[in-house]
Amino acid sequence: MRRTALGLLFVLVVLSPARGQPAGGKALPAAKAKAVDAAVTAEMTKQQAVGVAIGIIQDGQVVYLKGYGLADRENKTPVTADTVFNWASNSKPLTAVAALRLVEKKQLDLDADVRKYVPDFPDKDAVITIRHLLCHQSGIPHYSNGKVIPTKRTYTTDQPFLDPVNALDRFNLSPLLFKPGEKVDYSSYAYLLLSAAVQKAGKEAFDKQLQEHIAKPLGIKTLQLDVEFKSQPHWAVGYVKDKADKVVPAGEEAHYWIHGGGAYKSNVRDFARWAQALVNRELVSKDTEKQMWTPQKTADGKATKWGLGFEVDDQNGLKVSHNGSHREVVTRLVLYPRSRDGVVVMCNCQFASPGAISTAVFAALGGK
């Protein structure tokens, strides 16, 4: 009975089709919009998801933005295109683009030792390159796949980890899992180190680089670092399942300390604008894009599924994607650069599957 009632509630709070259309430009036909709404609502009911926001890009234009369900179940606040969600690990492609823009300016070398830029990082008796960090071949552990050893010290500021160089203390004494380049093992800590390298190489605070050189030129206004706060307009409450499989609020957690590994948030309108910029090649050159979306090989020549900051596949031509997951949110970015199509998904439930939602959206649009 609870699942049925929850499913009906989702239907009632879905925004009207007219409000799902972006301002100006091409819009998704009404019949397709209706099919997408039905597909997302059905998937949410199946997953017991509380709130979802999606964006659809076709032929390089954002054609549909929509919120479904609740941003705050307890206060019955609906999800809209203005609702702010954490990007979680979808912050990593943002970091990759920031790094590759510095490569284009010859301020950063893909194959240089990261300690050239961040000598504060301890020597691991192995060369870890910028490329290794970007394509998850660094050997640096993730949160729980190896021994994580922090540096303990006293700081002179209240929030020392607002600086990614200081935040390296969260893991910098950890031993490597393997020799860099030997294999792939996903690591958010590697992207924290990359954030510090971008900051040092760009001679500008990491967050400022993202704001000044990516967000502002694209007209992205809500992108922000996930710092501690008491209240914030349009913020989506996160939800998890307890031991009894009941959906309950997750509680607030500030993720700012992981920086480019998963610390950024925005509304779905700006998440979709970011996706649009990627398929329209607004941020990097054609040659850089090719490198970014080419599967990187290990030192012994084995192909992997990772490019520079993105997962890459040849499904229906070139497919580029990334997932994100924190305790209070999951996200999904899927792009088909050759047709300049894409879907972005944000959901305030850690247990949900944004990939199933994006697949349902593509199916409603005619398939990919």
CA distance 368 to 366: 7
Whole-number Cα distances in Å, 300 to 138, 180, 181, 269, 304: 15, 12, 8, 42, 11
The domains of the chain, with CATH numbers, are 70-339 (3.40.710.10)
Longest dimension (CA), the chain: 61
pLDDT tens digits for the chain (368 residues)? 333 333 333 333 343 333 566 655 689 999 999 999 999 999 999 999 999 999 999 999 999 999 999 999 999 999 999 999 999 999 999 999 999 999 999 999 999 999 999 999 999 999 999 999 999 999 999 998 889 999 999 999 989 999 999 999 999 999 999 999 999 999 999 999 999 999 999 999 999 999 999 999 999 999 999 997 656 779 999 999 999 999 999 988 899 999 999 999 999 999 999 999 999 999 999 999 999 999 999 999 999 999 999 999 998 789 999 999 999 999 999 999 999 999 999 999 999 999 999 999 999 999 87
How crowded is residue 11: how many other Cβ atoms within 10 Å of its Cβ? 15
DSSP 79: P
Entry pTM = 0.92
